Structure 1
Amino acid sequence: MEIKIVSDRYNPLLKRREIKFILDHEGATPTFKDVRSKLCAMFNVDKNLLILEKIVEETGMQRCRGYVKIYDDENILKLVERKHILLKNEIGGENDQGEESS
């Protein structure tokens, strides 16, 4: 699995990096968790600050395009991101569910 950065920009308003990438792979398409782990290691960031928004497989090729956001602060991440994206990236967990039932 090889990741190439297509664009990397910093959004000062939301205090995050917004990165578009191409992922070349052999064999089966890598799982969401595998790609997220690879990106965390590649950018040397905590897994609670990285949001993998989407991965789209290109038809007929062993290549995916993706979009990832790396936040400076976990509080801003939880304010900005939609709940289903947080669940997909396994961020928040028990604390968010406890607040809903109160």
Structure 2
Amino acid sequence: MFMVKISIVSESYNKLLRRKDVQMLVDYDGATPKRAELLKLIAEHLKVSEDRIAIIKMVNLFGQHRVSVHCHVYDSVDDMKKYEREYVLKRQGVEVSGKTS
């Protein structure tokens, strides 16, 4: 694997949706990490399971080995499936049931 440093820029809790909104910067060596790799690293850093995290946006900062990441950390998997947008769930390979496409 490669060297990674994660720093949290902002973190706030949304009581209505029962989730934590997290903005972070991820410094890395080598190639840009894939979404699945980032999901695993973020889960380890925040000490939560991967199936409760939804990565909303990843922006590679120009000329730097740094990615800006916006993610939602839900209190439960059911809350994530209920409130998160369908395309975000599909992007992470989460089974979407009960929603029409």
The TM-score normalised by the length of structure 1 is 0.87
Instruction: Indicate how the Cα distance of structure 1 residues 83 and 25 shifts in structure 2: closer, same or farther if over 3 A, else same.
Output: same
| Alignment gaps of 5+ in structure 1 | none
Moved runs in structure 1, 4+ residues, more than 6 A?
Answer: none
Matches within 5 A, 1:16-35: 16-35=19-38
The aligned counterpart of 1:3 is 6
- 1:8: Cα distance to partner? 0.7
Question: Which has the greater radius of gyration?
Answer: 1
State the distance in 1 between where 2:20 and 2:99 align. 29
Q: Judging by fraction of residues, say which structure has more helix.
A: 1
1:59-101 CA-to-partner distances (Å, cap 9, x unmatched) read 11111101011101222211111111001112226xx2xx579
1:45 equivalent among 41, 45, 48: 48
State the distance in 1 between where 2:60 and 2:43 align. 20
The CA RMSD over aligned residues, in Å, is 1.6
| Alignment gaps of 5+ in structure 2 | none
Matches within 5 A, 1:53-92: 53-92=56-95
State the distance in 2 between where 1:36 and 1:48 align. 9
Identity, % of aligned positions: 26
For 1:13, give the aligned amino acid: L
State the distance in 2 between where 1:49 and 1:28 align. 26
